[in-house]
Amino acid sequence: RTVYLNGDYLPETEAKVSIFDRGFVMGDGVYEVTSVLDGKLLDFAGHMKRLTRSLAELGMGNPLGDDEWLLAHRKLLELNALTEGMVYLQVTRGNPGDRDFIYPPEDTPQTVVMFTQSKPGLADNPQAKTGIRVISIPDMRWHRRDIKTVQLLYPSMAKMEAKHRGADDAWFTEDGFVTEGTSNNTYIVKDGKIVTRQLSNDILHGITRASLLRYAAEAQMQIEERPFTIEEAQAADEAFFTSASAFVLPVVEIDGVQLGDGKPGPVAARLRELYLEESRKSAI
């Protein structure tokens, strides 16, 4: 693979970052993942907007302008001949030259890293037809989940727990309510109404979520933004989740309880189609 490091396009084996990089020793960095279909970037503007916000919340500026980010994304796609998959980007507070809790001076160059992940058939995930199984796990992450930081250890632990228990993913719960999935936003459908938790610092403000809710509203579908419990989800007609890399995927089992007839429902299927169709139209 050819990867991006601080303005250079290099073979992945030649891209090196300091052991003192704040991203490495402090988890002091943010990231974005943008999907690519037909060689085009989905929801790009949304991802750029959230990147700037995540950086600002951590007292950092954006090292590149939106146009420069777009050029870098496109160049990386071209150099890797990638038409279906993802582009990962990460910005850290850079290398202060030593380990210190205190932020380095503001003129310390940030570390900017990007790489592609090829996923042929990304839009034809067989799980869209079969659905996935999730378990619930207490949400023990920090309380600024609205910032897309590289601190992914707890979600990683939760995914491992799901795997050990024979499930595909985990949904986090806090104070009795579902917050979100390990790497996705969560929804249920009851009597045709889509229910998903409202935005706050408790969840990541999903770019796929924002687009999907807009498309669903335009299609006159009913949406309610409020928290829901695992029990309510188990008794719902359907459940699903959204993320940039998975789009919309149905959930057919929660903590061993099958939803309805155990098959993906029509609302999730329609929303997946709607998202793919509309986001392809606005892809750049």
- Is position 34 an interface residue for ligand PMP (rule: CB under 6 A)? no
Nearer to ligand PMP, 2 or 185 (CB): 185
Tell whether residue 206 is a contact of ligand PMP (CB under 6 A).
Answer: yes
Backbone region of residue 262 per phi and psi (left: phi > 0; alpha: psi in -120 to 50; beta: other values): left
Q: Which helix (H) or strand (E) holds 204?
A: none
In the complex, what is the shortest distance from the CB of residue 284 to ligand PMP, in angstroms, rounded to a whole number? Answer: 17
> Minimum distance from CB of 161 to ligand PMP (Å)?
16
Which of 36, 48, 204, 252 contacts ligand PMP by CB under 6 A? Answer: 204
Smallest distance, Å, CB 192 to ligand PMP?
23
Contact range with ligand PMP by CB under 6 A, out of 72-80, 176-184, 258-266, 273-281 = 176-184
CA pair distance 159, 169, nearest whole angstrom: 6
Interface of this chain with ligand PMP, residues 178 to 197, rule: CB under 6 A: 180, 183-185
- Whichever of 17 and 199 has its CB closer to ligand PMP, that residue is 199
Nearest distance from C-beta of residue 148 to ligand PMP, angstroms = 6
Binding-residue pattern over the window 100 to 139 for ligand PMP, x denoting contact by CB under 6 A: ----------------------------------------
| DSSP-derived secondary structure letter, 103 | P
2 in contact with ligand PMP (CB under 6 A) = no
Q: What is the pattern of x (binds ligand PMP, CB under 6 A) and - over residues 35-74?
A: ----------------------------------------
Residue 111's contacts (CB-CB under 8 Å, 6 or more residues apart) are 5, 6, 17, 21, 23, 29, 90, 91, 92, 93, 94, 95
Give the Cα separation of 197 and 221 in Å (integer). Answer: 16
Task: Give buried/exposed letters for 232-258 (b at 16+ CB in 10 A, else e).
Answer: ebbebbbbbbbbbbbbbbbbbbbbeee
Q: Which residue has the tokens 């995930």?
A: 125
Least distance (Å) between residue 20 CB and ligand PMP = 27
* Residues forming the active site: 148
Phi then psi for residue 250, to 5 deg, are -75, 145
User: Alpha-carbon distance 58 to 99, whole Å?
Assistant: 18
Which tokens is 167 given?
């499930």
271 binds ligand PMP (CB under 6 A): no
Shortest distance, CB of residue 55 to ligand PMP, whole angstroms? 16
208 part of the interface to ligand PMP, by CB under 6 A: yes
DSSP-H helix ranges across 136-194: 153-164
CB 206 within 8 Å of CB 257: no
The verdict on 149 binding ligand PMP (CB under 6 A) reads: no
By CB under 6 A, tell whether 244 contacts ligand PMP: yes
If the CB atoms of residues 2 and 248 are measured against ligand PMP, the closer one turns out to be 248
Residue 207 has, within 13 A of its CA and on its CB side, a CA count of 23
Binding positions for ligand PMP, rule: CB under 6 A = 33, 180, 183-185, 204, 206-209, 242-244
